[in-house]
Structure formats: structure tokens, C-alpha cells
Chains A and B, each alone.
Chain A
Amino acid sequence: MNFIETHLLTTILFLPALAAVAMLFLPRDENKLLRWFAFGASLIPFVLSLVAWVNFNPDQAGFQFEESYVWYEAIGSSLHLGVDGLSITMVLLTTLLTPLAILASFNITDRVKPYMMLFLFLETGMLGVFMALDLLIFFVFWEIGLVPMYFLINQWGSANRDYASLKFMIYTMGGSLGLLLATQMLGVLFGTFDLVSLYQQWNSLAADTALLGMSVSTVKTIAFWAFVIAFAVKVPLWPFHTWLPDAHTEAPTAGSMLLAGVLLKLGAYGFLRLILPLYPLEAKMFAGALAFLAVAAIVFGAFAAYGQTDFKRLVAYSSVNHMGFVVLGIAAAGLAAGTNDAHIALDGAILQMFNHGLSAAGMFFLVGVIYERTHTRNLEEFGGLFPLVPIYGGILIFTSMASLGLPGLNGFVSEFMVVRGSFPVLPVYTAISMLGLLFTGAYILKGIKKVLHGPVNEHWAHGEHKLTEISAREILLIAPLMILILWIGIWPAWILNVINKAVVMLF
């Protein structure tokens, strides 16, 4: 027990990967065993991160549960892990969604073993990004997560998966190129990748230092945009978002859940962990540009979602719309760093990351539930399903409302906070984003209408196509998400307390 206490983060981080390696030695055809093994293996990190959450002291500044091991001594990189209020929230989200995604994959019958192994590797990749306190380790996990996701889409995806998976891979790798180069440059300049010391050294560079034959501010501006593009592709911000609808739509249900639930947060987390602390001046200087891109994502994302006839694509574009609010909050905080408005905006942005993780994972799961039964995602082929599947209908409406931002559910709290924090800082952009919010309502209602309401589509009412109700396993799966959605909506203080204290200390 003592080992786990002192190595809590490494245990959480590497347990899924070790479990995946252990799965190599399980028999290939025992689907049931493989599923339960993977599910069990992903539950342990969840329990441990709950332990971490309970033992986490929000009042303490700096990082907690820190661990540091020699990794790549020659270039000054070490496996330095630690969490603060910002990252522990994301760790909790990841370890919560991974078991749910694995549970959602119990109906996969094709090559269960590699499928489950990839999910567990993916979990390690995502957790590593949230825990890393070393820039190179951050990059390592950032890239490593791509590989399992690529194969999940490429092997278990739907019809257009080849195109979508390659696009996902090339977009993200291409986007990360600038991050890679900027990371190398920082490493060469300071001989270390340790974030804590980089924050300090990079910001205290004298303005008249000549770097690479250019002024410090030029170099910093270029590096700033290199970082921004890498994270903007992942978030995704307009106009870097076009990989997302393809990847989300073609991925298997559980893959979409994690893609929307956690992978997009990696980008937003990069903004918070790296861009704001490393480039406070540039974040202030270019806050307008970032806010513009964010608002474009919010508005165009909403329009695009409204225009879809594919249910899954609609949900995919809603992610663009929702993640726009996260970046809007970050842009406002960059402009007004240190003020109360900035803190509120960031509280909202971080909570929005968590909330979108819950509701997007839920929405993709619900789309998966109906797709599995009808083998279509075309909104025109549904209609009037509510009387046929009342429980499913109720759950779908509940989750959609969370996504819409209905007061009393979680989305409202975070979006309100982002808007409240941003409005005094960026009034015009915030006002336009409110228009986007209006269209959020429109596309969500359109989705519900096309699926649940209207005259009953007789095709699904009788005979071999008769629609079956959502199963107990599926209800069990979405229940934790619904409970959290409601809980945060009614009483957000338990999580906001941790987020807010971290935000006030950090920014």
C-alpha cells in the first residue's frame, strides 16, 4: 500500500498500459474474459484517481503527488509528474470516461483483444499529457495517444474510415510539428524541459537578448503561434477543425466518446498548462485573434451542426461549438490576466471542459445506441421514435438539454461563467458568441425533433426492424454521466472549489 501512496500518479498512469501488455497473454477468442479484464483494469485507475481527488489539497499552491524519475538525462528531460487543481479534474474525467467507453464496447465482436488493448494504451497516453510536468514528456504522451486512436478509427470505424483516420493522423501530426520545433528550441536554449523551471526562465529572458539572430519578442511570437496551432488543431478551433467531423463520425462509438470526451480537452489543456504561463504577453497581445477564432468556432460550429442530416455529424459539430467557449474563456483570461473576470472566465472554461466531456461522451454513446439498432445515422430515416423507446427518448432529451445549456444542468453553469467572465473583457465577441448559443438551441432541438418527435416512422415499429428499448447495461453506463450532469448543474461547488483555487493561484 505504501508503494501506491508514494507512486500514486505513476500507478494510475502506467496501470492501463501494463494491463494492455498483460492482455497479450490472454486467449484470443475468450471475448467475455477480455472485455471484463479490460473493464476491470480501467476501473482501478478510476478508483485511484478518486483517492487522489479526495487526498488532494486545493489550498496548497504548486503541484501535488509529484514524482520525478530519470528518463533522458543527456538532453535534460525527466519523467516528472504532478497534478494541480486543473489537471486532477482532467485526470478524473479521463479515468471516468475510459471504463465507460470500454463498457460501451462490449458489443464489439471483431478482434476484441487488440481493440481493448488499444483503449488501454490510449488511456495511458491521455493521462500522461495531463500529468506531465516536463515539456518533452508532455509531447511524448501527446503524440503517443494518436497511434491507438488512429488504429481504432482505421480498424473498427465505419465506411469512410480510411480517409478519416489518415486525415486525423496527418492533421494532428502536422499541427504538432510547430510544437515539436518550439520544444526543441526551448530545450536547446535552457538545457532542461522541466516546466516549472521553463516558466520561470523563459519569462525572465531579457528583452534585448538576441535569439537565433532575431529579437526575443519575434521568437516568442513565432513560438507562441507554433504552440497555438498545435493545440488549436486538437481543440479544434475554426478553421483547423475539419478533421473532427470525419474522425468522430467514422470512429466506433466508444472511440468517439473518448475523442470528444477527452482528446479535445488535451488541446484546451495545452492552452492552459503551456500557452498562458509561457506566453502571458503574447496571449494578451493576440487575445483578440484567439477570441475571433473561438467565436467563429462557436457560430460556424452551431450553423454547421444545424445543417447536418447525419446524427453523429451533428453531435460532432456541436463539439466545435462547445469547445469554442473554452477558448473564448482562455482568450479573455489572457487579455485580463490576474483580474477577477479572468478567474471567472477560466473557471468556466475548465468546468466547460469537464462538462463537455460528460455530455459529449453521453451524446455519442446515445447516437451509438440507436445506430447499433437501426444501422443508420440519417436523421431523415428516424422520426417519432419516442413512443417506441420512451426510456431512451427521455435519456436523449436529458443529455441534449445538458448540451444545450439548460439551467439546472451542468452546461449552463460553465457557459454562463465563461460568458460572465468574458463579457467585461471582450464584450463584442462575447455578444456574438451569445448568438451562437441561440443556434446551439436550434440544432439540439432539431436533432431531438428529427429523432423522437413527429409522426411515428412505421418502419421501426413492427417486424424485424422493430426498435428495441435501451438495455440495462446501456442505462448503467450512461447513469454516472447523467448523475454528474445533474449534480454539477445543481451544486457545482464541489468541483468549482478545486478549479477556482487552482485558477487563482496560477493565473
Chain B
Amino acid sequence: MNFPVLSVITFTPMAAAAIILLMPAGKKNEIRGVALAAATFALLLSFWVYFSYDASAAGYQFVEKYNWLPVLGISLHFGVDGMSTPLVLLTGVVMFTGVLISWGAYDEHQHLSAGIQDRPREFFAFLFILASGVFGVFVSLDLFMLFFFYEIAVFPMYLLIVIWGWIQTREYAAMKLTLYLFIGSVVSLVGALAMYWTNFQNTGVLTFDMTLLENAGFSQAFQYIWFLPVFLGFAVLGGIWPFHNWSPDGHVAAPTAVSMFHAGVLMKLGAFAALRVGIMLLPEGAKQWSWLIMIFAGVAVVYGAYIAFVQMDLKYMIGFSSVSHMGLVMLGFSTLNRAGLTGAGVQMFSHGVMTALFFAITGMIYDRSHTRQIPELGGMSRIMPFATIGFIVGGLVSMGMPGFSGFVAEFPIFMGVWGAQWLVAVIASISIVITAAYIMRNIRQVFFAKMPEKLEGHMTDVTVLDKVAIVTLCAFMIVIGLYPGIMVPLVSSGVEHILTLLGGA
């Protein structure tokens, strides 16, 4: 394999951002066109990676390695395994649909409204820089590069929220989000540097290469001390309780496409980095502390669902449901066994697609109704039947209904928890019923209840581009739900490697 597909995927959004910035600001549709072309290209490449990854061979594939700063042992080392391949695809999907739903629509006066109308040039540029960062984290096999891309992903988030966000809370939310994530990543960075130096002292080799650090054989004591800072530092971005507080605020304040990225992909970034750096590099520490992660995650699952249940703001509801669902990912990690990790891998993808869909549809509704208060909405099914079906599908995934990807992901997670600590499985299962209750209640109120009078006549159906986005996202959830074989073997191959690092557990 000579074509450097991973670096092309990673740098395509960055290059597109540069091109977009060079275009005149007034040519809004041309800018959108370039954005869509770049996103489609990245999506096709990530499909190609997904389907040509050889799950039976497992290991890191499509590996590329270029020296970057050899003196310090830093290289641009890319490669994907069974865990990260679905996440690369996820990023491609969210990027593609995010561009589609940011396009906008003609309102009743034939003015283009909704979507992003204010400075789309800068918006897409920042969004694409963020996307490059996300791709970079998922494909990096070098610890330094992972941090490098991690920060690239976090920083545009601040600008995107503070400039294009919801006017009432955007400054507060953007500041809160950025501080939380920076603090988290700094803590992790300290841990990473500790690994780097300890490895140097042990072996005399300066390297950030994770494929080498995996086998560095850190001492037990070292792993006990550093696991928690490294894992939790990243897990902040994964929205783990009790550090989840920034996340719903951030979701709510962000513009639609950014919420999709934020909940759909960025939270996976945190979970994935916590897995790759925390669990895979410090497996002994993971075994030691898994009980604590399990408690945090278990609380997140039930508490997140309960808080979502009492929300009146549609976006807050989805924000807290993300906390609950990402809690399941962490719960899967904390089991450290085959079923749990496999489920967590699928759940990352499933939740990413589902929550992107939720935020997309919420954005479509908000752009037209200018309210997200659930009691002030109603009767959307008459106006936007397509969005209704999309939201229902997303809701069923969220409830873990069999036949959709949520079930395929959650079932093994719970099996994993049974293998580790059955009581947690029993307690966490309560969240399923709570989730069903709030999802059903919201579908009924927002889409089927009588439409409030002040909305009458102001609502228009979603655009063709919106429909393409909805169909794309739904298709993933249904196909995986009906035929898990399309994704699970891939994730399993990645899990095998993790289990080897954990000592063949």
C-alpha cells in the first residue's frame, strides 16, 4: 500500500480550509461547494479505508511514518486498527452531514435562512481545521502527534461556539468548555511526558511512538500512579461523570453543525484517547483502577439519563443523554473484557451517528421555530415528516431498541459488565427505561402534539440537503442494527490487541 491514504484524509480538511480562506467572503455558495466537495472526498476515502481494512489480519494498517523531529523521537506516524477505523468513518460521516445541514434553506420570503448564513467562509474554515484535528487523533500512532491534533481539535471549538453560538450562553459555554478540556489535556500531557521520560530512562530511547511505548514495560507502581491522571484527563472530553459539566452547556451553545461534531465526534476523541493512551499504554494501572472508572461510568449512565429526563430544553436533553450514552462507553472500557470493549467500540460509532442526527434535527427545528423549549413545540410531524422519522429512528437507537445499532452496542457492554460486576449491570439497566420514557415523551410532544398557534405558518419542511443528511445517518444505524457483522468483526480485531496488552485476559 503506497498511497498515503491516512495523511490524505487527515490533511484534506486542512487544505480545504486554506482554500476556503483564500476565497472571497461574498461567494457563499462557492465556499459551501468547496466545503461539500472536500467533505465528500474525505468521506469516500474513509469508506475506502473502512472496507479495505483487513479485519482478519488485524493490527495497525495503512501505516505511514515520516520523521518530524527525530531528535526528540517525534514522528508523523499514522495507522489505524479495528478500534479507530470505525471512528475515522464516523468523522467522515459527521463532516459530510454537518456541511449539508449548515447550507441553509429558503424561507417564506425566498431568503436563504437557517444553516450558517453569517460568515460561512470562516465557519467552514474553522470547522475543517477541527475535522483535521479529529482525523489526526484517530490515526496517530505517535503520542506527541496525538496531543498535537487533540489541541488542534479543541481550539477551533472555542471560536466556533463563541462566534456562531447561541447568543445567550455562548461566551460562558465556550470558556467553560475550553478551560475544562485544556485542564484535562494538560493533566494527560504530564502523564504522557512521564511515560516518555521513564521509557528513556529504562531503554535509553527517546520516543513518543505508541507502538513502542505499548511494550515499554512500565513498572507496576508507575502505572498505578499515572493511569488515573492520563485516563481521566482525556475522559473529561469523553464527558465522564463528574467532569461532564462542560458538555451539555457546550452542546447547547454551539451552532448545529458544531454540536454534531462536538457530541458526535469530539466526545469519542476523549474516549478513544483515554483508551489508547490510558488503557493500552498503562494496562496494569487500568486493571488496578477499573473499579473506580466503573463507578464513575455507572453513575454517568443512570444520572445522565435522569437529568435528561427532567430537561425542558431539547438540546439540553440530548446533551445529557450523551453523557448517559458516553457513560456506557466508559462502562465498556472499565470491564476490560472482550464483550465490554467490543460493545464500547461499537457504541462510540453508534452514539456518534445517533447524536449527530439528533442535533441536526434539533437544529432544523430551532432554525424555524426559534425555540427549543419542549412544551413550546408541537405538531412537527405534519410539517417535516422526514425529520420526524429520522428523530424516531434516533430515539429508538437511543433506547437501545433491538434492530438498531444502539442495541448491538449496548448488549455486549452489559454482557461485559456481567462478567465484571453484575450489580452494576442491574443498576445501569435502569437507564434503559428512563431513556425510553424521555425519548417517547419528547417525540410525542415535539412531533405529534398540537402545534402551538404562534408557530402556525412559520414552519417549513426541511430541505433536500437536510434529507440527504438524515437518510445517511439513519442508514448507518439501521444497517448496523440489522447486520452487526458489518462492523463488529472489525472492532473485535482491535479488541484482541487490547486484550493482549492487558495480559490476554
Contact = CB atoms under 8 A, between A and B. Distances in A.
Contacts of B407: 140
Interface stretch (B26-34, B204-212, B301-309, B408-416): B408-416
Contact of A177 (B401, B429, B485): B429
B433 A173 contact: yes
Interface stretch (B70-78, B116-124, B417-425, B454-462): B417-425
Nearest to B389: A114
Contacts of B399: 173
B484 interface: yes
Interface string B466-494: 00000000000000000111001100100
A212 B421 CA distance: 8
Among B339, B396, B402, the one with the most A-chain Cβ atoms within 10 Å of its Cβ is B402
B330 to A, nearest CB: 18
B444 A162 contact: yes
B19 to A, nearest CB: 39
A164 interface: no
B426 interface: yes
B441 interface: yes
A185 B420 CA distance: 11
A144 B403 contact: yes
Interface string A141-171: 1011011001000110000001000100110
Interface string A164-192: 00100110011001001100110110000
Contact of B440 (A71, A150, A212): A150
Given A73-B489, A74-B412, A181 B403 contact: no
B429 A143 contact: no
B339 A188 contact: yes
Given A155-B448, A170-B436, A75 B426 contact: no
B440 to A, nearest CB: 6
Interface string A418-434: 00000000000000000
A136 interface: yes
B488 A144 contact: no
Nearest to A170: B437
A188 B401 contact: no
B411 to A, nearest CB: 7
B402 A75 contact: no
A174 B426 CA distance: 12
B415 A187 contact: yes
Contact of A140 (B403, B422, B485): B403
B422 A212 contact: yes
Interface residues of A, number: 31
B347 interface: no
Identify whether the interface residues of A are mostly helix, strand, loop, or mixed: helix
A139 B425 CA distance: 17
A79 B440 CA distance: 29
Given A72-B408, A74-B342, A184 B444 contact: no
Interface in A187-209: 187-188
Contacts of A54: none
Nearest to B428: A181
A70 interface: yes
Given A71-B484, A73-B489, A188-B419, A154 B444 contact: yes
B432 interface: yes
Contacts of B411: 75, 136, 184
Interface string B362-406: 000000000000000000000000000000000010010111000
Contacts of A74: 339, 342, 412, 484, 488-489, 492
Contacts of A188: 339, 415, 418-419
A309 B297 CA distance: 51
Contact of B401 (A71, A73, A147): A147
Given A74-B489, A170-B436, A184 B415 contact: yes
Contacts of A140: 402-403, 407
Contact of A139 (B402, B430, B489): B402
Contacts of A173: 399, 432-433, 436
Nearest to A183: B411
Contacts of A212: 422
B425 A75 contact: no
B403 A75 contact: no
A401 B485 CA distance: 52
Given A70-B485, A173-B433, A177-B429, A166 B440 contact: yes
Nearest to A74: B488
A72 B484 contact: yes
Contact of B396 (A72, A73, A147): A147
A181 B425 contact: yes
A71 B436 contact: no
B415 A72 contact: no
Contact of B485 (A72, A174, A184, A187): A72
A184 B432 CA distance: 14
A73 B415 contact: no
Contacts of B412: 74-75
Nearest to B492: A74
Contacts of A144: 401-403
A402 to B, nearest CB: 36
Interface string B191-221: 0000000000000000000000000000000
Nearest to B421: A212
Nearest to B418: A188
A365 to B, nearest CB: 27
B415 A177 contact: no
B341 to A, nearest CB: 11
Contacts of B422: 185, 212
Contact of B441 (A73, A75, A166): A166
A170 B484 contact: no
Contacts of B342: 74-75
B402 A71 contact: no
Shortest 10 CB-CB distances between A and B: which pairs?
A140-B402, A188-B418, A72-B484, A74-B488, A143-B402, A184-B415, A184-B414, A144-B403, A174-B433, A212-B422
Interface of B: 339, 342, 396, 399, 401-403, 407-408, 411-412, 414-415, 418-419, 422, 425-426, 429-430, 432-433, 436-437, 440-441, 444, 448, 483-485, 488-489, 492
6 contacts: A150-B440, A154-B444, A173-B399, A173-B433, A180-B432, A181-B426
Given A139-B402, A154-B444, A173-B436, 6 more contacts: A73-B488, A74-B488, A74-B492, A146-B401, A180-B429, A184-B415
